Amino acid sequence: MIDFMWLEITGKCQLECGHCYASSGPNGTHGTMTSEDWMRVIDQGAALGVSMVQFIGGEPTLHPDLPMLVRHALDAAVEVEIYTNLVHVTPAMWQVFRQPGVRLATSYYSDDASEHQAITRRPTLKVTTKNIARAQEFGIPLRAGVIGVLGGQRSGEGIALLERLGVPDVGYDDLREVGRGVRENGPGVEQLCGQCGDRKIAISPSGEVWPCVFSRWLPVGNVREMSLADIATSETFARVIGDLRGQFTTTMGECAPKTCNPKCSPSCSPSCKPANNCGPSGNCAPKYSCGPCAPKDRVCNPGLNCVPNKCGPDRCKPEK
């Protein structure tokens, strides 16, 4: 029923990125969801078949109970991805990152420090790059997404730098006009990839549930009032997902591979590089670095190794 959940555990962040879809920043809060609420949601998700959760924000490492929530997910046999800006990582947090079953994701913008700072509103390029390199040294699974925000941005050079650092999974995405990212069009289905609600949901710091993190204007319930199972089987959920799929039926038919139709972009995790022609990837959940597997493939639970370039039943092997 649900395979993947975004858990937006905080709206607090050290940065004030001008394109932030969650409008997070230093004045953000952890919301009304308690740690007990989040653990209950993780348990309910595991019961529904969730194999992976992504802790996001804001900056999830600023939540004091992130280590406990990560451990709770792992104990429930649910893999964890932490989407972090890697601006400040304490020794204790590195230990959290290094646990089996945990992987990292981060955003990147440019190889130019001033351009990077113009986007994040803080001098972050050097420290983020250093921590990406350190994660690589520790052998922590890591993916990075370069986001095109500025005209003439050195996105390609940023991708090349990440590849030189040895990051195995580097994607590119355009600005989403959601939150502080609104420019001309504002929030709408044209900002989505067409896979909203396809075995995925997002949960906000207030407990509100959305089909994905970018469809924040489409609440389908609240986990502080209903169980995940009740939300996922509710008339509201079915109506919202049905409306979205109806709207995407025509648009996605125009988005054949190699199409450069404006309706076909942005997509959640395109594998193309800037300036290439590409349609939606149809993959809103993390792209796992074990190989070119379809998003619905199960990932490896704790205690199992993910075999490079393997999909399906041969993907996960017991640890030696």
Residues 6+ apart with CB under 8 A from 36: none
Write out pLDDT tens, residues 59-81: 999 999 999 999 999 999 999 99
Token readout for 16 is 């004030």
Question: What mean pLDDT, rounded, does the chain reach?
Answer: 78
CA-derived radius of gyration, the chain: 18
Q: Which of 4-13, 18-27, 53-62, 158-167 has the least mean pLDDT?
A: 18-27
Quickly count: other Cβ atoms within 10 Å of residue 164's Cβ: 9
Exposure string of 38-50, with b = 16+ CB inside 10 Å and e = fewer, is: bbbbbbbbbebeb
Write out pLDDT tens, residues 296-311: 333 444 444 555 444 3
Highest mean pLDDT among 64-73, 149-158, 253-262: 64-73
Q: Which of 201-210, 221-230, 249-258 has the least mean pLDDT?
A: 249-258
Q: What is the pLDDT of residue 301?
A: 43
Q: How far is CA 75 from CA 41, 303, 305, in A?
A: 14, 11, 17
Q: Which of the four pLDDT bands, split at 50, 70 and 90, describes residue 211?
A: confident
Sheet hosting strand 102-108, strand order edge to edge = 169-174, 142-148, 102-108, 79-83, 52-56, 4-8, 200-203, 208-210, 221-222
Residue 47 backbone zone (phi > 0: left; psi -120 to 50: alpha; other: beta): alpha
Q: Which of 77-86, 132-141, 210-219, 276-285 has the least mean pLDDT?
A: 276-285
Is 27 exposed, middle or buried (CB count within 10 Å of its CB: 0-12, 13-18, 19+)? exposed
Q: Which of the four pLDDT bands, split at 50, 70 and 90, describes residue 248?
A: low
Q: Which of 53-67, 98-112, 251-265, 278-292 has the least mean pLDDT?
A: 278-292
- What pTM did the predictor assign? 0.77
Highest mean pLDDT among 152-156, 175-179, 233-237, 263-267: 233-237
Token readout for 18 is 């001008």
Q: Which of 178-182, 189-193, 215-219 has the least mean pLDDT?
A: 178-182
